[in-house]
Amino acid sequence: MTLDRRFPSVLEWQEGARRRVPKFAYEFLVGGIGEERGICANRSALQAVELLPHYIGDDFTPELGHSLFGQAFSAPFGVAPFGLDGLIWPRMVQHIAGAARRADIPIVMSSFATTTLEEVRALGGENAWFQLYVLKDREKNRSFVERAARAGYKTLVLTVDIPTVTRRRRDIRNGLSVPPAPNLRTYWEVLKRPAWAIETLRAGRPEFKTLLDYVPEGLSLAELGAYLAEETSCIVTIDRIREIRDLWKGRLIIKGILSETDAKHSFELGADGLWISNHGGRQLDAAPTPVSVLPGIRKAVGREIPIMVDSGVRDGLDVARMMALGADFVFLGRAFIYAVAAMGEKGADHAMFVLTEELRMTLGQIGCRRPSDLPAHLVAASE
């Protein structure tokens, strides 16, 4: 049976991931903060966006190629950053980075990935971007930025929406740590997922490999978690953004924007692009959805600055919906992770293929020649 028959959409990828990944890791992936209303709101808001078809017109074939910051990509979507990836499936980021390069779309490497930023840059090439969480220690921030530049990254994504430590109920109940704290329940969950266990043994236990150079030696798991939580609980002030803008000579994108005020501040501080996100519903259960704020932010900043977006996006139709609302580029996280967890390395290439075909089908169905024409098909814009 072909992959397409077994895993035709993200729904099957997610179910496949659930069946192969231990409960503590799967719940970290799918869970959010509080009552998880933010996750539900992201999906509901996207599903309410309607696209108006124009069936009568000239014959054409949809053109998915799209440029961002002067770089041409094969499609207007990419891979969002996701930490602790190796806990979900070993060598997750490596698999996705290689597939992103083959598919010619961008991938954003998280500071909290379980591989090094140098390895992801080598695998992803010019399509690899680096995402930075600001640390309290300014010298460590400087070192991080300089290291990313030496590795060859041209785009830095500065995430601003993690000012405090969060409490996610699923992770607290599961006693989540990296690696998982050994107890009878953990062993039982691992034994029920033999493929995950075997691959983890081959790859080695998941660690924050990019961060290892920035933490004291000899810390226990509990101490490491407490240290990282303390270091990353940091309000990203205007002065800190200025420091990083002065240090970083490449493209700077500020991620986690949800207000017109923050969007304007980012533009004034020298950002080359804005990334609208509520962190996939994982940080604040009362945060607005990107769908609700995207049109206003686009109007506030005009067309001068590129706007990227994530949170709640699951398939090619959702990519089209976000672009119809005014986004220049769309990023997906969980969709790619589900695919690799369900299918292994080949899942990354399969996800790229399916998302591309879903987007191509959507454009063809509504009579839209290229992604940049999608705003003309937004139902609200036509009323």
In this predicted structure, what is the pLDDT of residue 218? 74
Helix (H), strand (E) at residue 79: strand 77-79
- Phi, psi angles (nearest 5°) of residue 155: -125, 125
* pLDDT more than 70, % of the chain: 96
In which residue are the tokens 């231990």 written? 22
Q: Does the pLDDT of residue 146 top 60, yes or no?
A: yes
Confirm whether 279 is a catalytic residue.
yes
Give the C-alpha distances (Å, rounded to integers) separating 83 from 40, 109, 128, 211: 21, 9, 15, 11
Distance between CA atoms of 113 and 208, rounded to whole angstroms?
A: 6
Strand ranges for 3-57 from DSSP E:
none
Mean pLDDT across 222-230? 71
pLDDT tens-digit series, residues 89-122: 999 999 999 999 999 999 999 999 999 999 999 9
Burial class of residue 215 (count of CB atoms within 10 Å of its CB; 0-12, 13-18, 19+): middle
Handedness of CA 93, 182, 218, 177 (dihedral sign): positive
Q: What phi and psi, each to the nearest 5 degrees, are found at residue 320? A: -65, -40
Contact criterion met (CB below 8 Å) for 129 and 100:
no
* pLDDT bracket for residue 171 (50, 70, 90): confident
pLDDT of 183 above 60: yes
Q: What residues have CB less than 8 Å from 178, skipping those under 6 apart?
A: 84, 87, 114, 206, 207, 208, 221, 225
Report the pLDDT value the prediction gives residue 305, as an integer from 0 to 100.
94
Lowest mean pLDDT among 205-219, 245-259, 263-277: 205-219
The predicted pLDDT at position 253 comes to: 98
Give long-range contacts, CB 8 A cutoff, 24+ apart: 369-372: 369/60, 369/62, 369/63, 370/62, 370/63, 370/64, 370/65, 370/66, 371/64, 371/66, 371/75, 371/76, 371/320, 371/323, 372/66, 372/323
Assess whether the previous peptide bond of 306 is cis (omega < 30° from 0).
no
Distance CA 24, CA 37 (A): 20
Percent of the chain with pLDDT over 90: 79
How high does pLDDT run on average in the chain? Answer: 92
Say whether pLDDT at 380 is over 80.
Answer: no
**Of 45, 104, 44, nearest to 76 (Cα)?**
104
CA distance 214 to 216: 7
Q: 378: which strand partners?
A: 51
Q: Residue 146's closest CA among 268, 54, 248?
A: 248
pTM of the model: 0.94
What digits encode the pLDDT tens for the residues 284-338? 999 999 999 999 999 999 998 999 999 999 999 999 999 999 999 999 999 999 9
Amino acid in the structure at residue 284: L
pLDDT classification of 340: cutoffs 50, 70, 90: very high
Q: Of the given ranges (55-59, 171-175, 241-245), which has the lowest mean pLDDT? A: 171-175
Which one is catalytic: 66, 279, 350, 377?
279
Count of positions (residues) in the chain: 383
The pLDDT tens digits for 351-370 are: 999 999 999 999 999 999 99
Torsion angle of the four alpha carbons 179, 184, 188, 190, in this order, in degrees rounded to the nearest 10: 10
